[in-house]
Amino acid sequence: MTNKAELRKVYREKRLLLDKTEREQLDSKMFDQLVDLEWNRCNYLHVFLSLSKYNEPDTSRFIGWIQEHYPNIHLVLSKTDMDNGTMINYLWNEETIMVQNQWGLLEPVGGDMINEELIDSVLVPLLVADKRGNRIGYGKGFYDRFLARCRGDVRSIGLSYFDLVEQIVDTGEFDFPLKYCVTPDRIYRF
């Protein structure tokens, strides 16, 4: 059992130590897991664009697969609102204008806003999760606040290069647990 600060430090370092070849192999295995999930009933899928400088799992291949195999699924991206600590959701299509934010993340500039209640599934970035579905992200709480505003049956899908830890001991009332965690070797359901 370990607390968030310790786990965040350890798993951030572990992820940064992965070389390009290791990441590509892990990404390929995670892609195989992701496509095994049920996507037929999804209308709105919230995705994140991976930050390679943080060695995040690469979502680009999966996003391309969704666009090819499920063209009726609407892809949603968020723009970070630093003033109130929230994420504003926009429909993502070929007309979406993107700019880089202060962390180097590409975000939409305007477009069609999407209410959280419409979103069926969310790909969630994280460093590591535990066996109860609690996750550790970067510590700002953006995804916890966002998921709390989504409908109750939203399918939150964490992406992690690493297996689950036993327990994150200092979870709080505002931490929003995952429904799934996809790792290179399996899909965990909570």
Phi-psi region of 141 (alpha: psi -120 to 50; beta: other; left: phi over 0): left
6 marked as part of a ligand binding site: yes
Using alpha carbons, select from 78, 29, 80, 23 the residue that is nearest to residue 54: 23
98 — phi, psi (to 5°)? -120, 145
Q: Do the annotations mark residue 5 as ligand-binding?
A: yes
Q: Is 140 within any annotated ligand binding site?
A: yes
Q: Is 7 annotated as a binding residue?
A: yes
> Phi, psi at residue 124, to the nearest 5°?
-115, 120
Confirm or deny that 137 is annotated as ligand binding.
Answer: yes
Q: Is 56 annotated as a binding residue?
A: yes
Distant-in-sequence, close-in-space partners of 173: CB < 8 Å, separation ≥ 6: none
Residue 143 among known ligand-binding residues: yes
Classify residue 119 by its DSSP letter.
-
Q: Is 12 known as a binding-site position?
A: no
Residue 91 labeled ligand binder: no
CA dist list (Å): 101 to 81, 90, 114, 174: 11, 15, 20, 25
- To the question of whether residue 61 is assigned a binding role by annotation, the answer is no
8 is in an annotated binding site: yes
49 is in an annotated binding site: yes
Q: Any known ligand binding at 16?
A: no
Q: Is 94 annotated as a binding residue?
A: no
138 is in an annotated binding site: yes
Please state the residue numbers annotated as binding site for substrate.
Answer: 49, 56
Please state the residue numbers annotated as binding site for ATP.
Answer: 4-8, 135-143
Please state the residue numbers annotated as binding site.
Answer: 4-8, 49, 56, 135-143
